[in-house]
């Protein structure tokens, strides 16, 4: 077994269920051996078994420990993590790669003024930054990051977990629609429910299943009853990955109504869309953040403007009524996920970026040492 180069991966809390993508990356790194540092180990960590997870407060002389362990790189997850790791980066004299994912270039900028104020230092001192889509790259540039420091590495999923069992047609009278996501404002579940009520007018036996929980649940339940579609909509709450996959296979259409929340919170590209497309389900989504980079209108799925339930309802009806398009859309969708969102390919790209960061950092140290030696010799001469 070859020696893997040790690195630190930092995430403030290890690990919310919504951050499976971080676990998938950690598991699939081949050239690098990750040591996960965090401030808190969550109860949900049992879903992400990994031996090398350590709480920062239990480590004395952190910089010394990192140097003794031969750590090559700090990989900070989310912009907030990059800011938090800056003092350790300086003390340990290590290069740092920071990944941005969505809330760290939207809501957190308004919620945490100290974070926004710290970004210039992060952009100046951090060696490289990754984002999951071109939309986010532009936002990072607008915030003052040098374009030369940014690399787009699209999110990836483990394709071995998502069997391609396409549905190229369905009985419109009993159409089944599925949505998965936390019941928060940015997921737009209320928009989806309103859009679905338009479907029920034409197809009274249509079914909508929503998996997820959150602060919007009560409001969502009230909306469902007020629309008179309580017999058509099922709220399953938070479910295991296995149940989500079962529901994915049962449904005919997967829908996601993402939108920008009032506090500015945005998505990147939700992984659940990749999972649905990999599984062979027709996707109907919104033109939000990086989603159109994955769901391309009338090519890999159908799109509606965000915050427009009427248009989303029209898109759902079009999907139901134009099933002759399903085969091409679903086939194209699977292809784009295989080509651009395979976790194995994306991790390899990430490791190439890590190689570049480590190499360039070492080269800069050698160059500084040569300049210092030259100045000393010049003074002596």
Q: 269 near 294, Cβ under 8 Å?
A: yes
CATH number of the domain at 159-340, please?
3.40.50.2000
Residue 1 in this model has a pLDDT that exceeds 60: no
* Digit-coded pLDDT (tens) for 110-154: 999 999 999 999 999 999 999 999 999 999 999 999 999 999 999
Kindly report, residue by residue over 90-115, the tens digit of the pLDDT. Answer: 999 999 999 999 899 999 999 999 99
Specify the pTM: 0.93
Return the H-helix or E-strand segment holding 355: helix 343-380
Q: Where in the chain is the domain with CATH 3.40.50.2000?
A: 5-155+342-376, 159-340
Q: Residue 373's pLDDT band (boundaries 50, 70, 90)?
A: confident
Q: Give residue-wise pLDDT tens across range 310-337.
A: 999 999 999 999 999 999 999 999 999 9
φ/ψ of 82, rounded to 5, equals -60, -45
Asked if 24 and 9 touch (Cβ cutoff 8 Å), the reply is no
Q: Give pLDDT, residue 375.
A: 77
Q: Is 363 left (phi over 0), alpha (psi -120 to 50) or beta?
A: alpha
Q: Give the pLDDT score at 18.
A: 87
How many CA atoms lie less than 13 Å away from 142 in the CB half-sphere? 9
Instruction: Find how far residue 8's CA is from the centre of its chain.
Output: 20
d(CA 309, CA 286): 10
Q: How far is CA 222 from CA 186, 216, 217, in A?
A: 18, 10, 9
342-353 residue pLDDT tens: 999 999 999 999
For position 297, what pLDDT does the model report? 98
Which of helix, strand or coil describes residue 180? strand
- What rounded mean pLDDT belongs to the chain? 96
Question: What CATH number is given for 5-155+342-376 in this structure?
Answer: 3.40.50.2000
| Structural tokens at position 309 | 């339930």
Beta-bridge partners for 34: 7
pLDDT, tens digit, 9 for 90 and up, residues 4-50? 999 999 999 999 988 999 999 999 999 999 999 999 999 999 999 99
Beta strands (DSSP E) in the chain are 5-10, 13-14, 32-38, 40-41, 53-55, 74-77, 96-99, 128-131, 150-152, 176-180, 207-211, 233-237, 253-255, 282-286, 302-304
Alpha-carbon gap, residue 333 to 302, rounded angstroms: 11
Query: What is d(CA 255, CA 180) in angstroms, rounded to the nearest whole number?
Result: 8
Bridge partners, residue 97, by sequence: 75, 128
Q: What is the pLDDT of residue 381?
A: 63
d(Cα 133, Cα 127) in Å, to the nearest integer?
19
Each residue's pLDDT tens digit, 173-222: 999 999 999 999 999 999 999 999 999 999 999 999 999 999 999 999 99
Residue 2: the pLDDT is 66
CA proximity to 270, closest of 316, 306, 243: 306
So what's the pLDDT on residue 308? Answer: 98
């Amino acid at each position: 077994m070859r020696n893997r180069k040790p690195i630190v991966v930092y995430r403030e809390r290890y690990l919310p269920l919504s951050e499976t993508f971080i676990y998938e990356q950690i598991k699939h790194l081949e050239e690098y051996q990750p040591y996960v540092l965090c401030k808190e180990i969550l109860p949900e960590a049992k879903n992400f078994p990994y031996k090398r997870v350590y709480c920062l407060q239990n480590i004395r002389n952190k910089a010394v420990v990192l140097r003794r362990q031969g750590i090559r790189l700090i990989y900070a997850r989310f912009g907030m993590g990059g800011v938090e790791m800056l003092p350790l980066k300086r003390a340990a004299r290590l290069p740092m790669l920071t990944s941005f994912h969505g809330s760290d270039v939207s809501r957190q900028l308004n919620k945490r003024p100290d974070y926004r104020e710290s970004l210039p230092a992060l952009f100046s001192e951090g060696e490289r930054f990754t984002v999951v889509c071109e939309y986010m790259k532009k936002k990072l540039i607008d915030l003052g990051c040098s374009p030369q420091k940014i690399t787009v590495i699209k999110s990836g999923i483990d394709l071995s977990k998502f069997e391609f069992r396409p549905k190229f047609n369905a009985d419109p009278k009993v159409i089944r629609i599925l949505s998965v996501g936390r019941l928060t404002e940015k997921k737009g579940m209320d928009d989806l429910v309103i859009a679905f009520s338009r479907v029920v007018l034409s197809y009274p036996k249509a079914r909508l299943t929503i998996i997820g929980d959150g602060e919007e649940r009560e409001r969502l339940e009230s909306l469902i009853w007020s629309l008179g579609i309580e017999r058509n909509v099922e709220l399953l709450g938070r479910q295991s990955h296995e149940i989500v996959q079962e529901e994915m296979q049962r449904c005919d259409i997967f829908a996601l109504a993402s939108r920008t929340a009032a506090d500015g919170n945005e998505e990147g590209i939700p992984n659940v869309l990749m999972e649905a497309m990999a599984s062979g389900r027709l996707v109907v989504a919104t033109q939000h953040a990086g989603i159109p980079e994955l769901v391309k209108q009338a090519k890999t799925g159908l799109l509606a403007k965000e915050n427009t339930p009427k248009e989303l309802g029209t898109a759902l009806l079009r999907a139901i009524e134009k099933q002759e398009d399903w085969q091409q859309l679903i086939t194209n969708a699977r292809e784009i996920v295989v080509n651009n969102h395979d976790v194995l390919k994306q991790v390899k790209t990430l490791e190439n970026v890590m190689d570049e960061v480590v190499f360039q950092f070492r080269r800069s140290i050698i160059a500084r040492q040569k300049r210092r030696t030259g100045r000393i010799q010049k003074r002596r001469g």
